[in-house]
Structures are given as structure tokens and as C-alpha cells.
Amino acid sequence: MDGFTLVAEHTRRRILDYLREAVANDLGGDAHERRGRDVGSLVNALDMPQPTVSKHLRVLREAGVVTVQVHGPRRLYSLAPRPLSDVHAWLEPYRQMWTESLDALERHLDNGPEQPDKKQEEAP
């Protein structure tokens, strides 16, 4: 399944967003802290039935977008290091365009206001 099909489904986007936020929250923690989230935390955070969450996690895992680590009876899910490469590749020209546009705006703003045109000053 391609990346566009994966993220087209709202529930899968919510799961990916939750796992992304979990990564951000874990970055400041202890190195020995667990990484990833179990199905129960996803069920609680997303307020969805466990079978629904599990079904979408399976799809995401099979597509290589999330990884799973087994810790005793629990499975911890986390984002894969390089998921959604087709979406990333498609977005890259747009990122480049936006970056160039914002850089041009920054240069314009850094140069300050332009000097008024003398013809405009002389107009009645």
C-alpha cells in the first residue's frame, strides 16, 4: 500500500500523529525509558475501540510505517525511521518552492522599506 493510501484514512493519521507526539515527548526522557506506545494507550488517547486501533496498527505495520517491539505480554508501537518515502518525495518540490519564497520574503524584509519613487512624491 502506498503512503498516500495510508494517510488518506483519518484513523491512521490520528495514530501516526499520536506516535509522533510520543516520540517528541520521549526525547527529553531517560535513555532507559520505554520507546513506543502500546495498544491500550492508543485506545485511551484516541477514544476508539481496541479492535479498530489494532486493525489500523496492523495495516501500518505491514506497510512499514510503524514498528513493533515485544516486551513480555505487551507490544510497543513506534514510528519507523523512514516511513512514507513516496509522500516525502512528492512533497519535496513544494517544500523547495516554499523555502525559496520565504527566503525571498526574508531578504525583502531585511532590506527595509524601499525609497519612494520621486514621481510619486511630486504628484499632487
For the stretch 104-119, pLDDT in tens is 999 999 987 665 555 5
Q: Based on the fold, state whether residues 50 and 90 are members of the same structural domain.
A: no
Q: Domains in the chain: how many in total?
A: 2
User: 33 pLDDT exceeds 50?
Assistant: no
User: Please, what's the b/e burial string for 16-38 (b: 16 or more CB within 10 A of its CB; e: otherwise)?
Assistant: bebbeebeeebeeeeeeeeebbe
CB atoms closer than 10 angstroms to residue 52: 14
Mean pLDDT, to the nearest integer, of 70-82?
88
d(CA 71, CA 31): 16
Length of the chain: 124
Report the chain's terminal Cα–Cα distance, integer Å: 67
**Confidence band for 121, pLDDT divided at 50, 70 and 90:** low
Q: Based on the fold, state whether residues 36 and 93 are members of the same structural domain.
A: no
- Tell me what pLDDT residue 10 has: 94
Model pTM?
Answer: 0.71
Residues 92, 16, 87, CA angle at the centre, nearest 5°?
20
Whether 119 is in a domain gets the answer: no
User: 86 pLDDT exceeds 50?
Assistant: yes
Domain of residue 94 covers 85-114
Q: Based on the fold, state whether residues 97 and 68 are members of the same structural domain.
A: no
User: 24 pLDDT exceeds 80?
Assistant: no
Q: Based on the fold, state whether residues 39 and 92 are members of the same structural domain.
A: no
